[in-house]
Chains A and B, each alone.
Chain A
């Protein structure tokens, strides 16, 4: 599904990703762990095509096709979803309006008719219930005045509505207490399927107790320095990043 080949990327002329290779097959969940500043968020932005993140070498194939030339919205419509580490606040735009525009943009791309307001509302309410979100969040402006945890839940809610084929979660666990973490993880797990893959970026092992990965990668200084099974996450938790990063160097 996703094939990252020797990916080098710069931000403001500074090389942040320095040769990443990663293959994710349908149905798989890959975790990317690493110390702060190792380039995890940068990887998520490069995958989603954010302005200012320039690929200088290598390629990203999604379903066999290079996406480097695609705009962020085109990548999203193709099925790539990023749950932001820092969800953005948008004053004056109701969550429902925003999300319905997104849902219909994706549907249009798939050749489906617009989802009417009634169906949208019904679907949204059902998904919110699963995530134990109050329905009033639909009418509130996007992320405005949401607590850290509410923002993260809102990200997963959007993901549930858009049903992407590749879910990228950037530190979705940060800012969540243990109950919220469980609910959010259940929300993500509910979306797991043989056709859908996930790239779970996290700093801590904690989230991976709930969203159990097939593969764990350790990212340090813009490179994957170690890859293993889910037990690698436990090892990281026990030993800390310093040793593993040093071993790999």
Chain B
């Protein structure tokens, strides 16, 4: 370990990588990246002194020197196919070492009015895509991402365009610092399904994946957004998503976190118009010493919107799950319907969950509720299964998959849901072994 402060080593990595980052030749882009790097350097990593980072520490990152991946790298085609979450009938962007792997990707055949690009090819739009989220330490990883983003997804649908196939982002962790930045903008009445998969490249060295994703939904737009984080057990993964939901639009999000050493998926969603809906569901599967965090912040800024959060956690060994669910209902956001439920099964004495609902309700005519349950498997259910001849391991596995199923069922039916279900089943089976 070098004696230089952590932020300086990152700044050094930035200097080394900057000339090869997309948009390096554009002055506005270069200036934006430079400013973002300066902001990160000022603030450093978010830490427990911040309310929203009380339960999750990234200090492990400071124990090693980080650099950006040296090259594009390659991954076995069979491994890519095995990790894919959507069948051949999809658009697909495969990122290896933070760069698009064109050979494994599929971007052709888009309907009129649809733009689908890797960020590195965003050209003049790059400066916009890298636009900042403000000088806020709690969101400083988004600035780090703006400084270092090497690629990502840019999807734009014009009004009324319904994307015929899901878009899959398939990213493989690298033993380095990888920054992907995604932008999804749906025009009025446009519809799409996007699937983000962060998978294990098979290289067990610790990596650090830092994701920023911005989503804007126009009026009456529909987006289904499935996210799967199943990186290797040494990996650090931090993601921040910002979602703006237009009037009458619907955002359905399902997040599965089943890998990584320390991983956090933070999502801020805001209703930008009335009559909109958001369904946010998540499943955490934590074993070993995995620390997996969902931090949500849902802003009911407009009246007549409905939101539902359902997050489930299965924690074994010395795993640690975190669920922070913030809901803010603005003073004029009457007729808000906001529900939140967190459910947790702790399977071992040293398994942990920190669950923190945070409701700030400033309107009076609203329906809001939240609840949290924490427990072990129900002994009555276990006995019922055993009384039918089912052994202890199988009974527990069946009950756990039953527990997880409610979230899995929120994934669109078909090939994608089957894959997500198989991933969950594999995780459960690995525990029984």
Contact string against A for B residues 368-387, beta-carbon threshold 8 Å, 1 for contact and 0 otherwise: 00000000000111011111
Cα–Cα, bound, A195→B389 (Å): 20
In the complex, which residues 386-403 of chain B have their Cβ closer than 8 Å to any Cβ of chain A?
Answer: 386-392, 394-395, 398-399, 401-403
* B404 contacts A by Cβ under 8 Å: yes
Given A92-B405, A93-B398, A93-B399, is A105 in contact with B384 using a C-beta cutoff of 8 Å?
Answer: no
In the complex, which residues 57-97 of chain A have their Cβ closer than 8 Å to any Cβ of chain B?
Answer: 71-73, 76-77, 81-82, 84, 87-88, 90-93, 97
Q: Which residues from B are CB-within-8-Å of A98?
A: 385, 388, 390, 398
Contact string against B for A residues 143-174, beta-carbon threshold 8 Å, 1 for contact and 0 otherwise: 00000000000000010001000000000000
Most buried by A among B387, B402, B403: B387
Q: Are B381 and A101 in contact (CB under 8 A)?
A: no
Cα–Cα, bound, A44→B381 (Å): 17
Q: Are A91 and B402 in contact (CB under 8 A)?
A: yes
Question: How far apart are A67's CB and chain B's nearest CB, in angstroms?
Answer: 13
Q: Tell which of A76, A91, A92, A101 touches B387, judged by Cβ atoms closer than 8 Å.
A: A76
Question: How far apart are B297's CB and chain A's nearest CB, in angstroms?
Answer: 28
* A202 contacts B by Cβ under 8 Å: no
Question: How far apart are A150's CB and chain B's nearest CB, in angstroms?
Answer: 16
Given A101-B394, A106-B389, is A72 in contact with B383 using a C-beta cutoff of 8 Å?
Answer: yes
Q: Tell which of A73, A87, A162 touches B391, judged by Cβ atoms closer than 8 Å.
A: A73
Q: Which residues from A are CB-within-8-Å of B383?
A: 50-51, 72, 88
Cα–Cα, bound, A211→B160 (Å): 65
Q: Are B406 and A102 in contact (CB under 8 A)?
A: no
Cα–Cα, bound, A102→B430 (Å): 21
* A24 contacts B by Cβ under 8 Å: no
Question: How far apart are A154's CB and chain B's nearest CB, in angstroms?
Answer: 12
* A109 contacts B by Cβ under 8 Å: yes
Q: Which residues from B are CB-within-8-Å of A162?
A: 388-389
- Interface size (A, Cβ < 8 Å)? 28
* A141 contacts B by Cβ under 8 Å: yes
Cα–Cα, bound, A101→B403 (Å): 17
Q: Using CB atoms, name the residue of chain B closest to A144.
A: B402
Given A88-B381, A92-B405, A93-B405, is A101 in contact with B386 using a C-beta cutoff of 8 Å?
Answer: no
Q: Are A88 and B402 in contact (CB under 8 A)?
A: no
Cα–Cα, bound, A84→B387 (Å): 10
Q: Are B386 and A72 in contact (CB under 8 A)?
A: yes
Q: Which residues from B are CB-within-8-Å of A102?
A: 385, 388-390
Q: Are A92 and B406 in contact (CB under 8 A)?
A: yes
Most buried by B among A50, A72, A102, A158: A72
Q: Which residues from B are CB-within-8-Å of A105?
A: 388-391, 394
Most buried by A among B395, B401, B406: B395
Q: Using CB atoms, name the residue of chain A closest to B404.
A: A92
Contact string against B for A residues 101-114, beta-carbon threshold 8 Å, 1 for contact and 0 otherwise: 11001100100000
Question: How far apart are A22's CB and chain B's nearest CB, in angstroms?
Answer: 20
Cα–Cα, bound, A101→B397 (Å): 11
Given A88-B380, A97-B398, is A73 in contact with B403 using a C-beta cutoff of 8 Å?
Answer: no
Cα–Cα, bound, A77→B390 (Å): 8
Q: Which residues from A are CB-within-8-Å of B385?
A: 90, 98, 101-102
Q: Which residues from A are CB-within-8-Å of B390?
A: 73, 98, 101-102, 105
Q: Are A90 and B388 in contact (CB under 8 A)?
A: no
In the complex, which residues 136-154 of chain B have their Cβ closer than 8 Å to any Cβ of chain A?
Answer: none
Contact string against B for A residues 2-39, beta-carbon threshold 8 Å, 1 for contact and 0 otherwise: 00000000000000000000000000000000000000
Q: Which residues from A are CB-within-8-Å of B403?
A: 91-92
Q: Are A109 and B389 in contact (CB under 8 A)?
A: yes
Q: Which residues from B are CB-within-8-Å of A93?
A: 398-399, 401-402, 405
Q: Are B389 and A90 in contact (CB under 8 A)?
A: no
Cα–Cα, bound, A84→B402 (Å): 21
Q: Which residues from B are CB-within-8-Å of A109?
A: 389
Q: Which residues from A are CB-within-8-Å of B389?
A: 73, 76-77, 102, 105-106, 109, 162
Cα–Cα, bound, A6→B92 (Å): 70
Q: Which residues from A are CB-within-8-Å of B402?
A: 90-93, 141
Question: How far apart are B19's CB and chain A's nearest CB, in angstroms?
Answer: 52
Question: How far apart are A44's CB and chain B's nearest CB, in angstroms?
Answer: 10
Cα–Cα, bound, A158→B401 (Å): 21
Question: How far apart are A12's CB and chain B's nearest CB, in angstroms?
Answer: 14
Contacts A/B (CB < 8 Å), 13 sampled: A50-B387, A76-B386, A76-B387, A84-B384, A84-B387, A87-B384, A88-B381, A88-B384, A91-B405, A92-B402, A92-B406, A101-B385, A105-B390
The 10 closest A-B pairs by CB, nearest first: A92-B402, A92-B405, A102-B388, A76-B389, A93-B402, A88-B384, A72-B386, A105-B389, A73-B386, A106-B389
**Residue positions of B touching A, CB distance < 8 A:** 379-381, 383-392, 394-395, 398-399, 401-406
Q: A73-B387, A98-B398 are in contact. List 5 more A-B contacts (CB 8 A).
A: A73-B390, A73-B391, A87-B384, A92-B402, A158-B388
